[in-house]
Every structure is written in C-alpha cells, then in structure tokens.
Structure 1
Amino acid sequence: MDRYFLSIVQRLTLEELEMLNYLTKNEINNRFSAIKKKELLNITNYTEAIFRKIFTRLEALNLIEVVTGSKEHLVYVNEYGENAIQLIHERSNN
C-alpha cells in the first residue's frame, strides 16, 4: 500500500502540490477550518478551468474533502493530502 501511495504522490503536478501545500500550511485540515471553494479559487489565481481540473483530481485521489450542505461548498485537506505533502518534504530533504 505504501508503494501505491508513493506512486500517486509522485504523479501529482506542481499545481496540485501547491494547492495541497497551501491548505496544509494554513492548517485547513478539518471541516471547522474549511474554506469556501470559491475563496480557494481566488487565492490560487488559477483560471477556473485549471482550478476545476486540479480540484477534481485531488478530490478523486482522496487528498481533499468537500463539505456540502450549504450554498457554497467548503474544502479542506485530509490526512492523506497532509501525508502527501509531508512525503514530498521528506524526499526533498534527502
């Protein structure tokens, strides 16, 4: 299983890593600290099409969570997303 996770992390794009890193660095890691999807779009400065592509892929890989139930969806990085960023940091320091 560890090899599978490593292969997923190695295939992440720079933009996907930047989004995960932003969420991790700002401790947006649970439903109570989640931010609006639209706010994340504005912060990242990606076009809407690129943002949707990144967002959809991270959600499909189960690296982020979406909180539904309100008009605007909220998003946060989950434990797998945090582990992906930690793994990248560890590998870059070696």
Structure 2
Amino acid sequence: MKKGTIMLIGGAVVLLILGFVIPISVGPPEDARVVIDHTKKVYSAPACFDQADLTNNLEETTLAQARHLSYLSESSCTDQELATERKPFLIAIFQ
C-alpha cells in the first residue's frame, strides 16, 4: 500500500473514534409537537398530557411556536421529556 493511502485510512479511523468519543448537546427539535393551554399559557409534552392540569382551551402546535408565544413548561415531566441530552457526535447525527 502507498503511504498516502495508509495515512488516509488512519485519519478516517481516528475521526471515527473521535465521533464516538466527543459528546455534544442535543436539544429537542423546534418542530417537536406539544400541547399548549391558552388559558394558563403553558405547554405540555404529549407524554405528559394525561397527568397535566390543563383547561379545555388547548391547541396542538410545535415547540417553536410555544416558545414564540412565551409559554412556560407545564411541569417537570415536560421539562424531562424535552430536555437537552449529551450524546456522542456520530450518534446524534443519525438520530
């Protein structure tokens, strides 16, 4: 094998290993679905909807829209569902 080919393969292996080692912060996507309560001006993750204390003035929308309206998270359950996580770079790309 040529020296350049070996260096190229070695560089690719190093980058691959670094991709699994270097963590990055991954937050929920801006188009994540949430339920907003216009009366209380809060939003809830769908997984937390059944235990949420909401009125009947509801709408399903995106997280970006809820934040644009300056609505707050309804509970710690919603905070946990939409929390920022630390994941290895390559795993975060493919999710």
TM (normalized to structure 1)? 0.26
TM (normalized to structure 2)? 0.26
Q: Which has the higher strand share?
A: 2
Q: Which has the higher helix share?
A: 1
| Larger Rg computed on CA atoms | 2
